[in-house]
Amino acid sequence: MKKISLKPIFALAICGFLFLFGCSTAYYSAMEKIGKEKRHILVDDVEDVKESQTKAQEEFKDALTRIKELYAVDGGDLEIFYDKLKGSYEDCDARADQIEKRINTVEQVASDLFAEWEGEIKQINDARLKTSSQRSLSDAKIRYKKLELAMNKSTQGMYPVLAKLKDYTLYLKHNLNAKAVGSLGGEVVSIEREVTALIDDMNLSIREADNFIKNF
């Protein structure tokens, strides 16, 4: 069996710890030692957001499915379907928290990268190279702004859906009977519309992430 070296894993864990606790200078320095500049870090962080949003799409779809299942129950054990809905809500809530944290990381790294880039352009003496680098920076900022807007729009779209899922879960927790479940029937169409819009926004964010990574 091939032996797996723990050194790279340990190094990445230390780097993540440094960034998490605000030691950004030490974090970037540590990452440079393992061959990752800020631009590489930013691409990796955008990939992380994209991965989380892809998973979130399925989890919000699952939550919608649970609501439909619960509403469609004709007799049977409502508790089983309620537990599935509660689990789906908790998955969505945890994923939303993860996405927001990952977007915050992207925004921080992008800000640090662009500041470094601008500072280093000032150090270039050759006018042609300076102009070319400034143009590249401006293009990168424009592409990033489109990505940032798409990420934040899709993030904000999660919270109204989460609020409804939470309301349903808390209401049903103490009113788990056919009459209570039936009273949610009119809400199914509404939340389905919101979940569809959310997934569309996430798809746009994922496409912008792909475009940013491809052209960065």
In tens digits, the chain (216 residues) has pLDDT values of 445 444 444 444 455 555 555 568 888 988 989 889 999 999 999 999 999 999 999 999 999 999 888 877 765 678 888 899 999 999 999 999 999 999 999 999 999 999 999 999 999 999 999 999 999 999 999 999 999 999 999 999 999 999 999 998 998 888 888 888 877 777 788 899 999 999 999 999 999 999 999 998
Kindly state whether residues 43 and 55 are assigned to the same domain: yes
Q: At a CB cut-off of 8 Å and minimum separation 6, what does 64 contact?
A: 191, 192, 195
Cβ atoms of residues 177 and 121 within 8 Å:
no
Kindly state whether residues 47 and 119 are assigned to the same domain: yes
Kindly state whether residues 83 and 180 are assigned to the same domain: yes
Cα separation, 127 vs 31, in Å, equals: 31
What are φ and ψ of residue 98, in 5° steps?
-65, -45
pLDDT of residue 24: 80
Kindly state whether residues 97 and 18 are assigned to the same domain: no
Kindly state whether residues 18 and 47 are assigned to the same domain: no
Kindly state whether residues 102 and 202 are assigned to the same domain: yes
Kindly state whether residues 123 and 197 are assigned to the same domain: yes
pLDDT of residue 6: 45
Cβ atoms of residues 109 and 42 within 8 Å:
yes
Kindly state whether residues 19 and 56 are assigned to the same domain: no
- Give the number of domains in the chain: 2
Kindly state whether residues 56 and 3 are assigned to the same domain: no
Task: Dig out the tokens for 167 from the structure.
Answer: 């309301």
Angstrom CA distances, 152 to 17, 51, 160, stand at 25, 15, 14
Question: What sign results for the dihedral spanned by CA atoms 68, 159, 155, 149?
Answer: positive
Cα separation, 14 vs 30, in Å, equals: 8
pLDDT of residue 202: 96
Kindly state whether residues 88 and 27 are assigned to the same domain: no
Where in the sequence is the domain holding 167, given as residue range(s)?
38-215
CA angle 180/97/30 to nearest 5° reads 165
At 121 the three-state DSSP class reads helix
Kindly state whether residues 149 and 79 are assigned to the same domain: yes
pTM for this prediction: 0.84
pLDDT of residue 100: 96
Say which DSSP state 83 is in: H
